[in-house]
């Protein structure tokens, strides 16, 4: 079971809702789903290698210092789904990676 969960709150690639509401990873627990639906977590934006913003979302984690958790939305969704290469966290640049 993963020590984190994430949701996409804005699809900046599509005029339609697109990926909005997508959650992960695949072993996301009910408690994390409830936390994300309640609006908990840290806000992130996924970018491509040209600096174009692709998606916004939120991450909840047991430990926000855990690199796997911080990378999770990028590795689980942003990269495979759209080729995103970087994740930046609002107000938490120490969590940025890519």
pLDDT in tens, the chain (98 residues): 789 999 999 999 877 678 999 999 999 999 999 999 999 999 999 999 999 999 999 999 999 999 999 999 999 999 999 999 999 999 999 999 98
Query: What is the torsional sign of CA 10, 90, 52, 67?
Result: negative
Per-residue model confidence (pLDDT) at position 56:
97
Shortest CA distance to 19 belongs to which of 87, 78, 60? 78
Max CA separation in the chain (angstroms): 36
Per-residue model confidence (pLDDT) at position 98:
85
Residue 43 half-sphere exposure, CB side, CA atoms within 13 Å?
Answer: 6
Per-residue model confidence (pLDDT) at position 78:
95
**pTM for the whole structure:** 0.93
């Amino acid at each position: 079971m993963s020590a984190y969960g994430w949701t996409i709150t804005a699809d900046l690639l599509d005029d339609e809702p697109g990926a909005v509401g997508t959650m992960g990873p695949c072993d996301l627990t009910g408690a994390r789903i409830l936390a994300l639906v309640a609006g908990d977590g840290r806000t992130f934006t996924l970018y491509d290698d040209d600096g174009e913003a692709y998606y916004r979302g939120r991450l909840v984690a047991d430990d926000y210092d855990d690199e796997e958790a911080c990378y999770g939305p990028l590795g689980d969704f942003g990269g495979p789904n759209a080729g995103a290469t970087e994740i930046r966290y609002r107000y938490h640049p120490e969590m940025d990676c890519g």
